[in-house]
Structure 1
Amino acid sequence: MHQIFTCIQSYLIYGNPSAKITLQEYGDIECPYCRKMHSVIKQVINHSQGVINWEFPIP
């Protein structure tokens, strides 16, 4: 399944915008742990069959 980012109001959403579960992330792009976790979370979303999405709140 091909995932894309969707912009809704002031959020970026990766995955199905209507997913039952939303993972909301507040991270630091310069943090090595956040950077490493990014690929792990992306794999989880890609294998969730549209059940989980990943939300990035933008202030």
Structure 2
Amino acid sequence: VALVPPARPEQLAATVTDLLSRPHELERLAAGARRAARFVSWPRIAAAALGLYREALADR
């Protein structure tokens, strides 16, 4: 995975071009992103926040 510094559009373009030339790597990264997205979905975030609020209120 390549991290591109902010305000470096030429480096971003080079990184994207490189990735597009390697479809297997692109698919591997995409699959990882899909797996990660399941853990950071809004319903999960909301449920976690609600759980924390309930826990905090129970401690009062």
- TM-score, normalising length from structure 2? 0.31
If asked which structure has higher relative contact order (CA below 8 Å, sep 6+), I would say: 1
Per residue, is there more strand in 1 or in 2?
1
Q: Max radius of gyration: which structure?
A: 2
Per residue, is there more helix in 1 or in 2?
2
